[in-house]
């Protein structure tokens, strides 16, 4: 594949990865504002999961277009940058609003979710690696 063809494909998939989720998030956010918090919990939760899944799916072509070094750069940046940024915001919220504030507890829940997601994906990756070496 030529460099120009690769660059064009990467630009096209990058555009899809950014605009696809945005095209889903804007109308979803508008619809969520119409629902009273806590009402229709399961409907809102399932609809949110569908939007999240579609947003991830929109990024798959972009991810597959990248080479291993680009993928590695993104993974390192998301892990170190994302975790450092999240912990920085958590520390700021605790210092500014207290440990038991709604915002600090929400940030703790978010970081716990990130940690759980990391552990699940890492465990699956480790199991696949063990099977590949045998």
* Domains held by the chain: number: 2
Same domain, 39 and 98: no
Residue ranges making up the domain that contains 62: 1-66
41-98 tens-digit pLDDT:
888 888 888 888 888 888 888 888 888 998 899 888 988 888 899 889 999 999 999 9
Same domain, 99 and 55: no
Last-in-domain residue among 66, 82, 109: 66
* SS3 assignment, position 74: helix
Same domain, 25 and 57: yes
Please provide the average confidence, as pLDDT, over all residues in the chain.
85
Same domain, 106 and 134: yes
Q: Is residue 18's pLDDT more than 90? A: no
Same domain, 13 and 33: yes
Same domain, 37 and 74: no
Same domain, 26 and 36: yes
Same domain, 83 and 45: no
Same domain, 22 and 42: yes
Structure pTM? 0.65
């Amino acid at each position: 594949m030529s460099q120009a063809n690769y660059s064009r494909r990467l630009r096209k998939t990058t555009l899809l990865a950014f605009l696809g989720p945005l095209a889903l998030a804007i109308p979803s956010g508008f619809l969520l504002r119409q629902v009273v918090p806590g009402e229709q919990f399961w409907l809102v939760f399932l609809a949110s999961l569908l939007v999240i899944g579609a947003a991830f799916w929109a990024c798959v072509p972009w991810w597959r277009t990248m080479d291993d070094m680009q993928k590695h750069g993104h993974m390192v940046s998301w892990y170190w940058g994302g975790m450092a940024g999240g912990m920085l915001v958590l520390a700021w919220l605790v210092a500014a609003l207290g440990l038991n504030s709604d915002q600090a507890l929400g940030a703790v829940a978010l970081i716990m979710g990130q940690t759980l997601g990391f552990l699940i994906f890492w465990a699956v990756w480790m199991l696949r690696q063990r099977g590949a070496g045998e």
